[in-house]
Amino acid sequence: MATGTTVPCGIAIPQVFIEGPIDMPLLQTFLARVEGLGYESAWVQERIIGSEPVLEPVTLLSYAAALTRTLRLGTSVLLPVLRNPIQLAKSLTSLDHLSQGRLTVGVGLGGGTADYPAFGISPQRRVRRFVEGLEVMKALWTQPVVQYTGECWTVQGISLAPKPVQQPHPPLWFGARQPAALRRAVRLGDGWMGAGSSSTEDFTQQSQLLRRYLDEAKRDPATFTFSKRVYIAVDADKTRAEQRLRTWFGIHYRNAEMASRVAVWGSVSECLDRLQGIVALGAQHLLLNPAFELLEHLEVLAKEILPHLTQAS
């Protein structure tokens, strides 16, 4: 096993309730416990439209901010293209204050445009809309009065107060897969999150590209975080664990096969070995995402995995 510093690990907050109504006692118990177990951060994702019961991410993190004191809180990832950047900048600034500077903003372009009509958005020039929206947000966070003229957004003479607690703004981590998106992450972001729906092989290829792009941009890699979301099931009965993951992936992603390709499952030692392998490939941060038995996983991951998951000093 590698020796060195312990890898910072986040945990996914209960947000998707595929087996029944929103379970507030579970959510409250989870947040009350997570901070004392050694997790570095807690994370939410974004899915606004659909029949699957999913809580809205910024609202949920505001609730989490009130129930925690030191835990970093992150989005993995928001889809800014679906939102007005002025309103989103204000919401995230408010969340940064409510959490007293504990917010990490993960953003992404998203995998498709099927939901765009419901939001009154054209699928045309969505990359330009995404980039300009982020530029507007950064301007609002850092400038006293914003003058911005773009192709999709024009903002003239407006201000946002207060500014975020974190200066110049909360860290921006990008969810990205394709080369062009990875280049945007290097140009505009402070970190990158490998998707939970991507395999270890995908992570390897994408992280190698990112390191090349960082070098080409003459950016210090030490200023840029490499993270990976990992769907995980700790269970000595590997067949049962895989089947439960496949059932969950079939509902959440409508693709049961994806579970067998991207998730980590098995005994404690097997899961630790798989996670250690991802760290060896360059992950500096892991977002662990159990799909079931959330409180049980919260405990076993903290006690049996986190203390032994290390990266070379």
Nearest one of 169, 226, 215 to 7, comparing CA atoms:
226
- Other Cβ atoms less than 10 A from the Cβ of 245: the count is 25
In the predicted model, what is the mean pLDDT of residues 168-177? 97
Among all chains, which residue has been given the structure tokens 């990976």? 228
Helix (H) or strand (E) holding 155: strand 154-158
- Other Cβ atoms less than 10 A from the Cβ of 171: the count is 15
In the predicted model, what is the mean pLDDT of residues 237-241? 97
Q: What are phi and psi of 162, to 5 degrees?
A: -75, 165
Cβ atoms 45, 75 nearer than 8 A? yes
Question: Sorting pLDDT into bands at 50, 70 and 90, what band is 111?
Answer: confident
Looking at every residue in the chain, the average pLDDT score rounds to 96
CA angle 185, 110, 280 (to 5 degrees): 50
In the predicted model, what is the mean pLDDT of residues 221-250? 97
pLDDT(312) > 90 = no
Question: Parallel, antiparallel, or unpaired for β 103-108 and 172-175?
Answer: parallel
Biggest CA–CA distance in the chain, Å, is 61
pTM greater than 0.75 (yes/no) = yes
Report the CATH fold assignment for 1-22+36-43+178-313: TIM Barrel (3.20.20)
Distance of CA 95 to the CA centre of its chain: 16
CA distance 2 to 283: 14
pLDDT(1) > 50 = no
Instruction: Please report the pLDDT score of residue 187 as a whole number.
Output: 97
